Structure 1
């Protein structure tokens, strides 16, 4: 009898331990996804700087910015507010401050050394939109620039931009608070001095016999997933252009980037070398760019087009290299920006874990084994084998799967359970949106939802009054 009681107690302890372990695992999963959701839900703001040499001692510098509307503290216009158009309803007074200092930034903001300011400037405008939805938009944005001549040398700059976390209270302009952006270092080169060659990302360009004009991509150090772009690189005066190559490496292994692979290489030739002079920045028709003269007295640049639509959404490195010595003359790290990427794909751990709805435990363990680079390779191979359009880089099936996970979280989450772990969430992930949803509220009985699919009918029953539904029947058609 004592032995039987001891065995029962042991089984209960094991069961309790198993349940507790599962709860902790679910909690870690949920925390990881929710942390990603909070990170990706932040408004997008992009900042960059470019400079073009005017002489050996001076360059023309421009600070660029692009900010989504949902970063902006809009206010509703009052009855007596003067509007630019009759349908304008919300407005925002925007002011962006820029201060440039001599020398590189101190690693500590608490440093006792006071940097010498060489320029203070600001950009201001009033934005107007016609609906509340526009104030929350991530497809609408404003962009601009500030430019000034700078002597060659080392600098750093700081920004003051509107704080999106603390929107303006209606009718109270003084409630807006600004926050300093992280300080950024910059090197201003002369015509002959290129210790740190500039890599300028371009959306488009036009090159003629005597002039060169271009539009900046203006997404900071990001390029857009699935869209081609170009890059303009200043060539050092002591370099032989016909000995140079621009190489594009994909960095793998997540944030640690523990390995790299060459994905594209272009040998620099006289056909893509130009000398630019008299550069003028411009902001026309909502596009920010520049126009320059092509002359034999300017600074040398190589311009190269990158077929980015052929490459994965990943982190890359552009490197200007000497073909003979393999010397890296300059490099720039860039990140592919998938503007509407599903939340789970922002993190390899979460992306692999979310495969648990369609693979068994053994397959999941195999996908999760090895180094970061090995796990990323296996994850990509898993989806490549299921790509409905293998001739293109974009994988529609993978995108649809992770979009369903996001939708399940948004639509079916309760206070205790994230949407993808509910019966309705799992059904949505596996089968997609139903053709028809019928909600029935019988007297003295729980509410039911009936999801109709071409080949099956799912019946869910409410377990609480907070939208929690449990699958009680699955009928094949």
Structure 2
């Protein structure tokens, strides 16, 4: 039995008989449902972003990077005649990614008669991925990533990526994205670059790009490399605001984190290099006295909520010179937590009807606040942001749906699903096939035995005994 099961039973005052929970019925969810969220979460993920690093000569090293989850890529079985494959590889996937950069700004308005500019740069990335099992081909925690770069003069550009998968000759193009390369000697604003790690010494500065688009990883700290204007300001102020759900992007809560970049902590560097490696997309640059001006901030994101944030850099005169909105990304987030209404509705298995109505009332922001308070009161590790109990509960709902659903009933509404949600994985499961009688399953827990009986031949079971 999972170690959190006793906590669930004790802290949440779970009902001792599953039938009692079933008798309370199901409150139908209007609009977004668990199933619609599951369909959305089943979509493979890809991330695209770019970085601009201005040099002293007025040009800028411009890199376009990407990350593709394995489940976006079609894999093929390795042939026995393929001598280039690793010995333990069972599947492989050739990946070809092309980059094309155009002059001018891409206009999305259908009324615009102007055409996108001339193509000025093309490059491609190629790699072959090998994995040992079919499960790895469907992974969302494994990925392929890379970067393609060129030097651009100040001006407006747009680009697209073209993905060719497996052995197909057809390419799938991304949406066009605009790039503005500023004139460095008149640069008035700063830039914010997200890194998973950053190292600096007198001879070399290195960093690994986070490379999740406009996302940071929930529960993981990260670095912000601040590209500063070429002025002699003595200090800059960095703030991180959590944005409230259901509000516009201009509404900010109090800062959850502050730091100051002081003159003695800043550095200059040039000779930028961008490269894709097995451990991520890397940035290297050489410190000097005349290059681009930088500062770095370590963000303790492991202590922050899974939410949306605005990063800001201000001068000592309180002028905003850089800002960026990022989303916290929980890669293996339970499906229900993708929507606050569904997440609250799924609490119906462990709370009373009156408590459920209380949690469901109010605006989106109010519901989110009450939801967070509900789980904070039951957090077994309140000194950390991550709530293991909440994650365990909603992971059980996902497991129930995947393993106990039938044509008539979603898994979390079935008797076996409800048992799994309330009590977790049994210590032992015995399936009996008595002659001329329905199939039975016996689930054994410490101090509790549940007996289920098949009602159809399509995976439906009902609880017939609990002792």
Q: Same fold (TM over 0.5)?
A: yes
In structure 2, relative to structure 1, the CA distance for the partners of 1:27 and 1:332 (3 Å cut) is: closer
Question: Does 2:135 match 1:143?
Answer: no
Contact 2:29/2:342, CA 8 A, preserved across alignment: no
In structure 2, relative to structure 1, the CA distance for the partners of 1:430 and 1:177 (3 Å cut) is: farther
For 1:80 and 1:235, how far apart are their aligned partners in 2? 55
Counterpart in 2 of 1:88?
89
The structure where helix makes up a greater share of residues is 1
Contact 1:259/1:373, CA 8 A, preserved across alignment: no
Counterpart in 2 of 1:4?
none
What is the RMSD of the two structures over their aligned residues, measured on CA atoms?
2.2
Question: Does 2:298 match 1:296?
Answer: no
1:445-456 to 2 correspondences below 5 Å: 445-456=437-448
For 2:234 and 2:37, how far apart are their aligned partners in 1? 44
What secondary structure does 1:351 align onto?
helix
For 1:448 and 1:142, how far apart are their aligned partners in 2? 45
How far residue 86 of structure 1 moved from its aligned partner, in angstroms, is 3.5
Give the alignment's TM-score, normalised by structure 1. 0.87
Picking from 141, 159, 168, the partner of 2:161 is: 159
For 1:226 and 1:317, how far apart are their aligned partners in 2? 17
List per-residue Cα deviations over 1:98-145 (Å, max 9, x = no partner). 111223221236853221122122112222333333322223222111
Picking from 436, 439, 450, the partner of 1:458 is: 450
Counterpart in 1 of 2:197?
204
In structure 2, relative to structure 1, the CA distance for the partners of 1:363 and 1:56 (3 Å cut) is: farther
List per-residue Cα deviations over 1:260-290 (Å, max 9, x = no partner). 3211111221243111211122334433212
How far residue 65 of structure 1 moved from its aligned partner, in angstroms, is 1.4
For 2:330 and 2:247, how far apart are their aligned partners in 1? 16
For 1:423 and 1:438, how far apart are their aligned partners in 2? 16
Question: Does 2:426 match 1:426?
Answer: no
For 1:232 and 1:348, how far apart are their aligned partners in 2? 33
List per-residue Cα deviations over 1:386-414 (Å, max 9, x = no partner). 00111111111001000000001001111
Give the alignment's TM-score, normalised by structure 2. 0.88
Question: Does 2:381 match 1:389?
Answer: yes
Counterpart in 2 of 1:416?
408
Contact 1:451/1:459, CA 8 A, preserved across alignment: yes
Question: Tell me, which stretches of 5 or more residues in structure 1 are unaligned?
Answer: 1-21
Question: Does 2:125 match 1:123?
Answer: yes
Counterpart in 1 of 2:221?
228
For 2:430 and 2:30, how far apart are their aligned partners in 1? 35
Picking from 465, 469, 474, the partner of 2:461 is: 469
How far residue 339 of structure 1 moved from its aligned partner, in angstroms, is 1.3
How far residue 347 of structure 1 moved from its aligned partner, in angstroms, is 1.1
How many residues of Structure 1 are paired with residues of Structure 2 in the alignment?
A: 441
For 2:316 and 2:408, how far apart are their aligned partners in 1? 59
Contact 2:45/2:72, CA 8 A, preserved across alignment: yes
What secondary structure does 1:108 align onto?
coil
In structure 2, relative to structure 1, the CA distance for the partners of 1:210 and 1:27 (3 Å cut) is: closer
Question: Does 2:391 match 1:399?
Answer: yes
Contact 1:64/1:218, CA 8 A, preserved across alignment: yes
1:254-403 to 2 correspondences below 5 Å: 259-261=251-253, 262-325=255-318, 327-403=319-395
Question: Does 2:28 match 1:26?
Answer: yes
For 2:357 and 2:437, how far apart are their aligned partners in 1? 43
Contact 2:29/2:345, CA 8 A, preserved across alignment: no
Counterpart in 1 of 2:75?
74
Contact 1:155/1:185, CA 8 A, preserved across alignment: yes
Contact 1:194/1:234, CA 8 A, preserved across alignment: no
In structure 2, relative to structure 1, the CA distance for the partners of 1:447 and 1:84 (3 Å cut) is: closer
What secondary structure does 2:184 align onto?
coil
Larger Rg: 1
Contact 2:141/2:331, CA 8 A, preserved across alignment: no
What secondary structure does 2:385 align onto?
coil
Question: Tell me, which stretches of 5 or more residues in structure 2 are unaligned?
Answer: 1-24
1:427-442 to 2 correspondences below 5 Å: 427-442=419-434
Return 233-242 or 303-312, whichever deviates more: 233-242
